[in-house]
Amino acid sequence: MSRIILAALTGAAIFMSTVPALAEWKSYVSKDLGVSFMAPGEVKASIGTFRGDVAGPRQTIVFRATEDNIEYRVTVLSFRQAQAHGAILLGEREFMFRQRNTVLSDTFSNVGTGKDTIYGRKTVIDLAMNKGRSTGAFYFTNGKLYTFEATVLPAHGNLTSPDPGRFVDSVKFTGAAPGAIELRAPKVE
Amino acid sequence: MRIIPDMAHWAGRCGLTRPERGTVREEFAASSRAREVRKIDPMFRAWYRDSDVGKVCLGTARSRAAALVMEETMRFSGSVLLTAAVLAATTAPAQAAWRGYISHPLGFAFAAPGELKVEKGTYSGPVAGTHASLIYRFLDDNIEYKVMVVDVNAQANQSANLLGEAEFQFQNQKKLLVDTIDRFDRQYGRKLTIDLPNNGGRTTAAFYFVDGRIVSLQATVLPANGDYDSPEMGRFVDSITFSPEHAPDDATELPAPPK
């Protein structure tokens, strides 16, 4: 009996050593952009571009990480001169995210409480041509449009993974978890 | 229907070589070949005149006459019924006509039935605080139509948050049936449908943030109406436009709010 148990434990240890280890989830904060979130793997910053009918062409700040065939992305656009149009800009971004994709859910997503509540939306879509499933959360506050997207790629195999929800639900606009890693936002033109 | 032997003879004579059981006599009677034979063969003429075939022809004519009489009778009956329906409709309570309304200062137009009433109200939320609201209200056929305007221009930089709060409060702790994005006239808003608590009815609403104001159209089917799938709700909320060039020429200018 003891030999059987020992053999089972040995087999489990061998199995665990061959399975690739999943990266630990860490807290990140960008004081420049006033946002914090959690993500696995290494987060890298870059400059991107965005174009909308209302928003027009704009440069974006992008924080990106990829882990276990799930892509995590935070995109921030600045509209300091158009804050009064925030509702329209937010609506346009939500609309573009879901356009030509299959919408699975579309719900309220609020961060904070009371008079500090930031009201946004959370949308889950299946990407066209079986390219995966994407969860997006959208907010407009302090003159900035924030988009949080987590896309489960087909190679992951589990479109119902809880990790995208964990990512979008970790967003904070005030304060950050202790020990959060500070992200430096690249400068846009 | 059995083939009459004489008919079989004459059917062969007239070139109808395979008269079948149940052959309609009218087909035989209408045969052009039979008409030719009738012209040249006196015996066939006699038979045709005296036999059922001839009577079928006559019968056909009579049937047609009878059909015409029947048709006229039905037309008359139909006219009587239609007249009765019109009389019934004119005595039943009429639904009000839909009219267009426009407010140039507020920058929108919409359509609604019934008599317009203008009221002042109060709107409040944790983010928005407390504000006076302007309400244009209509009532027709136990459906309440309401346009609510809240001036939050002093907080316009929080437009997305204020709009989100208004939408959230509208459906909070109620049964949400529809929640969809709404886009037109370069405006993005939201359309929601809820069931009111305690069987209070069903409301469809649309929310927008325009020029420093929260604008909301809400149509409520009251229990006295009972038709919770009424298309009038959608007709009302979809009638909004923020482009005056889209408003009808005969739209009525909305009055200023009471002081």
pTM as predicted: 0.74
pLDDT confidence band for B181 (50 / 70 / 90): very high
Nearest residue, CB atoms, A95 vs list B156, B164, B183? B183
Q: What distance in Å separates residue B212's CA from the closest CA in chain A? A: 7
Distance linking the first and last C-alpha atoms of chain B? 89
For residues B97-120, give the mean pLDDT.
Answer: 95
pLDDT confidence band for A15 (50 / 70 / 90): low
Choose from B159, B172, B210 for mutation: most chain A CBs within 10 A.
B159
Choose from B172, B188, B216 for mutation: most chain A CBs within 10 A.
B188
With CB atoms and an 8 Å threshold, state whether B181 touches A95.
yes
Q: What confidence tens digit (pLDDT) does each residue in B188-205 have?
A: 999 999 999 999 999 999
List residues bridging with A141 in a β-sheet: A144
Domains delineated in chain A: 23-182 (3.40.1000.10)
What's residue B172's pLDDT?
A: 96
With CB atoms and an 8 Å threshold, state whether A115 touches B186.
no
With CB atoms and an 8 Å threshold, state whether B157 touches A119.
no
- Residues belonging to chain A with any Cβ–Cβ distance to chain B shorter than 8 Å: 53-54, 83-92, 94-95, 98, 106-108, 110, 114-115, 117-121, 139-141, 143
Whether the pLDDT of residue A5 is over 80: the answer is no
With CB atoms and an 8 Å threshold, state whether B163 touches A117.
no
Give the long-range contacts of residues B98-103, CB within 8 A, separation 24 or more: B98/B235, B99/B251, B99/B252, B100/B247, B100/B248, B100/B250, B100/B251, B100/B252, B101/B136, B101/B251, B101/B252, B101/B253, B101/B254, B102/B244, B102/B247, B102/B251, B102/B252, B102/B253, B102/B254, B103/B253, B103/B254
Rounded to the nearest integer, the mean pLDDT of chain A is 91
Q: What confidence tens digit (pLDDT) does each residue in A118-177 have?
A: 999 999 999 999 999 999 999 999 999 999 999 999 999 999 999 999 999 999 998 888
What's residue B42's pLDDT?
A: 61
DSSP 3-state of A16? helix
Q: What distance in Å separates residue A61's CA from the closest CA in chain B? A: 21
What's residue A20's pLDDT?
A: 52
pLDDT confidence band for B59 (50 / 70 / 90): very low
Lowest mean pLDDT of A129-143, B2-16, B116-130, B188-202, name the range: B2-16
Report chain A residues whose CB lies below 8 A from the CB of B216.
Answer: none
Sign of the dihedral defined by the CA atoms of residues A105, A61, A167, B166, in that order? negative
